[in-house]
Amino acid sequence: MKRKYVLRSDLVGYVGVDIGGQNTRVGTILPNGRLKLISFSTQPKFSDQIEMLSNAIKELGVSKIKRIGIGSPGPLDWRRAFVFDTPNLPWKNVSFKLLEKRLNIDVLLDNDANVAGLGEATLGAGRGKRIVAGFTLGTGIGYFHIIDGRIYHGSLDVEAGHQILDPNGPRCNCGQNGCLEAFTSATGILHRYGVPPHELEDEKAWDEVAFRLAQGLVNIAVHTSAEVLILCGGMLARGEMLLKPLRRYYEQMLKVYPKRYRPKVLPAKLGDKAGVYGAIVLAHVGHAGV
């Protein structure tokens, strides 16, 4: 199978923006291959956010910006660069076309999980693979599916964090019951075990979380036939506490493919920079149209 690599030198001239509830980071890859980053606090007013963004982008000092990619908490409509009412940001129903008009540079928007996944798939743990899928483990469970270095959406976006593992399971923030997110997100863990993941020391609890996450991974393996599955997010700092039982359950459950076609589950490599790198890659490759 032909492998595709994104080279850092291809990314020079593109700008990536990673918007979080607390901080916004703006970055570009310099001609020497290094990442230049500027951060500021995410602004409560959207007009101030646009102002700060355009200042930070100018401050990067890129002589001619080719395009800007943005990763933001969703739900959002990437086709219109439009963010709906979201619990993780202070603004609702806003369009990043405002930034495009202001700077006269094309802007591409996508949700933070897709963008971090794109970064990992092209420059991180999935580098060199054509079909990559995975989850971001955070306050929610984000999902990404990257095909030939581009994000796959479906008509709006795939929500595999909300696959139902047990219809009699715990209530999820989305309104369904027993979603993967309700069992394995930081919010779900806090709700079920009374402590956030970084304080959870109970092996039996981690075993339950790992079992549910393995179910989720097997389900995306059989739906995507990905070459690798990647896990991103702060929860991976718990290392083997999560990964050891996870690998055991995953290997026990997934049998349908011959061994060499069973995707390996890999931890992310880019850490908290996956979002900025992914946004730069998004600016470079553009959207695939689906």
Q: How far is the CB of 162 from Zn ion (least distance, A)?
A: 4
Q: How far is the CB of 87 from Zn ion (least distance, A)?
A: 13
Q: How far is the CB of 265 from Zn ion (least distance, A)?
A: 22
Q: Which is nearer to Zn ion, 124 or 188 (by Cβ)?
A: 188
Q: Specify the pairing of strand 264-267 against strand 76-77.
A: unpaired
Side-chain-facing half-sphere of 69: CA atoms under 13 Å: 32
Q: Which is nearer to Zn ion, 7 or 174 (by Cβ)?
A: 174
Q: How far is the CB of 120 from Zn ion (least distance, A)?
A: 23
Go through 87-122 and write b for each residue having 16 or more CB atoms within 10 A of its CB, e for each that does not: ebbebeebbbebbbeebebebbbbbbbbbbbbbbbb
Q: How far is the CB of 20 from Zn ion (least distance, A)?
A: 21
Q: Which is nearer to Zn ion, 172 or 221 (by Cβ)?
A: 172
**Distance (Å, whole) CA 13 – CA 64:** 6
Task: Tell which positions 255-274 bind Zn ion, by CB under 5 A.
Answer: none
How is residue 30 written in tokens? 């310099």
Q: Which is nearer to Zn ion, 134 or 142 (by Cβ)?
A: 142
How is residue 282 written in tokens? 């998004």
Q: Which is nearer to Zn ion, 160 or 254 (by Cβ)?
A: 160
Task: Tell which positions 68-127 bind Zn ion, by CB under 5 A.
Answer: none
**Distance (Å, whole) CA 75 – CA 57:** 24
Task: Tell which positions 34-63 bind Zn ion, by CB under 5 A.
Answer: none
Q: How far is the CB of 208 from Zn ion (least distance, A)?
A: 18
CB 60: neighbour CB atoms within 10 A?
Answer: 15
Task: Tell which positions 131-190 bind Zn ion, by CB under 5 A.
Answer: 162, 172, 174, 176, 179, 181
Nearest C-alpha neighbor of 289 from the set 121, 147, 130: 147
Helices (H), 158-239: 180-184, 186-193, 203-224
Q: Specify the pairing of strand 94-95 against strand 82-83.
A: antiparallel
Q: Tell me the site size for Zn ion, rule CB under 5 A.
A: 6
Q: Which is nearer to Zn ion, 165 or 228 (by Cβ)?
A: 165
**Distance (Å, whole) CA 195 – CA 112:** 25
Q: How far is the CB of 183 from Zn ion (least distance, A)?
A: 10
Q: Which is nearer to Zn ion, 182 or 285 (by Cβ)?
A: 182
Residues in contact with Zn ion by CB under 5 A are 162, 172, 174, 176, 179, 181
